[in-house]
Amino acid sequence: MKNQFQQALSREIIIGDPAYNISRCKELAEELKITDVVDPSGRQIGMLAELLYRVKEIPELEIIDIEGIA
């Protein structure tokens, strides 16, 4: 069985609908501290990987170029 980090790398995390995905991102972000990025444990690396993967998959966060203005 793959761990959280391996699932994020192989794109095996189930995104679901946007509302669930955003909710899960909030859960992960609330559990992590900014200092966890400096010296993360194995579990925190997995959580960071899942969070980044999920954020990248939120189409609502894409930058929209409207009439050449970004």
Instruction: Give tens-digit pLDDT for 23-48.
Output: 999 999 999 999 988 999 999 999 99
Helix (H, G, I), strand (E, B) or coil at 69: strand
Tens-digit pLDDT profile for residues 6-26: 999 899 998 888 889 999 999
Cα 38 from Cα 58, distance rounded (Å): 26
The pLDDT of residue 43 is 93
Amino acid at 53: Y
pLDDT of residue 18: 85
The overall pTM is greater than 0.75:
yes
